[in-house]
Amino acid sequence: MQANQVPFPNATLLWRSWECTATRFAEEPALLSLESGQWICFRDIDSAARALAREHLARVRGAWIAFSQANGPEWIQIFLACQAAGAAAMPLDTTIPAENLASTAHRLGASFLWTSSGLNFLGSQRRRSRPAVIKVSSGSRRECAPLPFSAEAMIEDGQNTATAMEMSEKDLALALLPFGHSYALGSLILPFLLRGLRLASAKEFLVSQIPNWIRNHAITFFPSIPDIWRALGQLPGESPLPSLRLAVSAGAVLSAETAKCIYDRFSVKIHSLYGSSETGSISYDGSGDASLEERSVGRPLPRVSVTIRRSGRVSVAGRALYGLRKQITLPDLAEWNELGEIRLLGRADPVVTIGGRKIHPAEVEALLRRLPSVTDAHVRSVRSQSRNYLIAAVESRRDAAGLLRLLADFVPSWKIPRLFLCLPRLPRNGRGKVEEKALQELFRYAYPQLPSEEASRTRPLATSSSDSRIQTANSANLP
């Protein structure tokens, strides 16, 4: 037996699945570095992962191993080495400063931090179970938290997503999403490990490079976030992308305006994918028409059961949930449409009383998103001197005064935000979600009279991949 084929007795089921893929596609190209133009084959990735596991991870079975690595073969090799050793891989955002990596990893429960020189021991952690992957929640509503997943749950999510999107070894994906994010794990990394999906990745990129990469390398699959799709839609010129059979958007709100702009410029429909870090992928718009029509986020994926409770909240059951859970109720509000699709309505946050009337901030958020030229909106309630009022930030090319006049024509005065920011782009993180702290700073700079943070109630954006519209008596009259 060759040295690089020595078995790993403690390996996870993810590693066992990878072994089948690496054997089947051994000498075939696996990953293209867009910076160098060089391919690396499946066998080389497999050999490097085995070497890392033997050299650094011989005695770490069951440990949580954190690492921060840019997209590329090294990320995949570290991830696979953890699976070979029977350890749990915890990918961290590359935006975390180097001096904070150890403290962040330890706070999240990691026993080791992977560094360029090997493992850095952070301290023992007692574990009842032995997950294969530790996702880190986005922290859009609270502090980031570790979400442990079994190998079986990760495989379930990967197979569900790949089946819904009809992925195979014939596809070449433009892999620009950070590999460690839940969206990328389910739609890129797991299909790569399980089905031989080929990847073309870059550590950094300009939006203007994307169309050329798709054309030059015959990319067939491109998953991204609304912020990138919006920027692509603003590029000059109209040029089809004939090789691109599948364009997907997830992670945050995608406006119909952006979907229509992409279709007009590139002759490509964007397919909405709805999911969460806790559950993996939930629903998918297979036709690509839902985004264009502002209709829904598609139907539940195979083997995913979705229930909408009396409260309106989305409840998900299946085998891809974190922490060995069988069912999770999310803070998202939804309803079924006449086609059996999931129509997201907002978030199940407290209703506030303004002017003696009850209102959900998501309702105003939805109304703002439907105004012409508005691609996104963020609304929250603030309490000052025993009174509630709404403040809003809108992403639009138009001026705030013009948008407020449009809004005033269709909604009563008590639904109009008292403080209003109009920005060319809302501040977002790498996952495409609005950065609440950065937005608060913008509000306080524009409106120094805002009460302290402790006195206000924040209602972050829904983590959906489509609109958060709520039907109101005024909705039908909007332009």
Residue 3: the pLDDT is: 45
The string of pLDDT tens digits covering residues 250-307 is 987 788 888 999 999 999 999 999 999 999 999 999 999 998 887 899 999 989 999 9
Task: Evaluate whether 439 touches 413 at the Cβ level (below 8 Å).
Answer: no
In this structure, what token pair is assigned to residue 29? 């190209």
Residue 455: the pLDDT is: 40
Q: How many residues does the chain have?
A: 479
In this structure, what token pair is assigned to residue 243? 């090789």
472 pLDDT exceeds 60? no
Q: What is the mean pLDDT of residues 369-388?
A: 81
The string of pLDDT tens digits covering residues 337-346 is 999 999 988 7
Picking from 422, 335, 314, 413, the residue whose alpha carbon sits closest to that of residue 374 is: 422
Task: Evaluate whether 90 touches 65 at the Cβ level (below 8 Å).
Answer: yes
CA distance 250 to 273: 5
Picking from 168, 238, 125, the residue whose alpha carbon sits closest to that of residue 21 is: 168
Residue 430: the pLDDT is: 67
Number of Cα atoms under 13 Å in the Cβ half of residue 261:
18
Q: Is the four-CA dihedral 76, 78, 84, 90 of positive or negative sign? A: negative
The string of pLDDT tens digits covering residues 76-113 is 999 999 999 999 999 999 989 999 999 999 999 999 99
465 pLDDT exceeds 50? no
The string of pLDDT tens digits covering residues 338-377 is 999 999 887 776 678 877 788 878 778 878 888 888 888 8
CA distance 317 to 332: 15
179 pLDDT exceeds 90? yes
Give the other-Cβ count within 10 Å of 41's Cβ: 16
68 pLDDT exceeds 50? yes
The string of pLDDT tens digits covering residues 1-36 is 344 566 899 999 999 999 999 999 999 999 999 999
445 pLDDT exceeds 90? no
Domains of the chain listed by start with CATH number: 3-130 (3.40.50.980), 352-477 (3.30.300.30)
Percentage of the chain beyond pLDDT 70 is 90
* Residues 136-141: contacts with CB under 8 Å, at least 24 apart: 136/90, 136/91, 136/92, 136/93, 136/108, 136/180, 136/277, 137/277, 137/278, 138/277, 138/429, 138/431, 138/433, 138/463, 140/433, 140/434, 140/436, 140/460, 140/461, 140/463, 141/331, 141/460
In this structure, what token pair is assigned to residue 151? 């190998």
Task: Evaluate whether 283 touches 341 at the Cβ level (below 8 Å).
Answer: yes
Question: What angle do the packed helices 42-56 and 73-85 form, to 10 degrees?
Answer: 50
59 pLDDT exceeds 50? yes
Picking from 237, 297, 238, the residue whose alpha carbon sits closest to that of residue 273 is: 297
Q: DSSP secondary-structure letter at 100?
A: G
Give the other-Cβ count within 10 Å of 360's Cβ: 22
169 pLDDT exceeds 90? yes
384 pLDDT exceeds 80? no
Q: What is the mean pLDDT of residues 303-319?
A: 94
CA distance 343 to 294: 9
Strand segments (E) across 279-435: 280-284, 299-300, 305-308, 313-317, 327-336, 342-347, 352-354, 357-359, 374-384, 387-396, 419-423
Task: Evaluate whether 256 touches 250 at the Cβ level (below 8 Å).
Answer: no
- The overall average pLDDT reported for the chain is 87
Angstrom distances, CA of residue 267 to CA of 234, 245, 329:
15, 10, 37
CA distance 253 to 256: 10
* Confidence band, pLDDT 50/70/90 cuts, at residue 431: low
* Residues 412-416: contacts with CB under 8 Å, at least 24 apart: 412/474, 414/354, 414/355, 414/357, 414/359, 415/354, 415/359, 415/363, 415/364, 415/367, 415/390, 416/390
CA distance 5 to 1: 6
N-terminal to C-terminal alpha carbon distance within the chain: 70
CA angle 305, 310, 316 (to 5 degrees): 20
CA distance 113 to 90: 9
In this structure, what token pair is assigned to residue 18? 């990878």
Residue 477: the pLDDT is: 41
**What is the 3-class SS of 417-460, one letter each residue?**
CCEEEEECCCCECCCCCECHHHHHHHHHHHCCCCCCHHHEECCC
Q: DSSP secondary-structure letter at 393?
A: E
Pick the more confident residue, 407 or 211: 211
Residue 342: the pLDDT is: 94
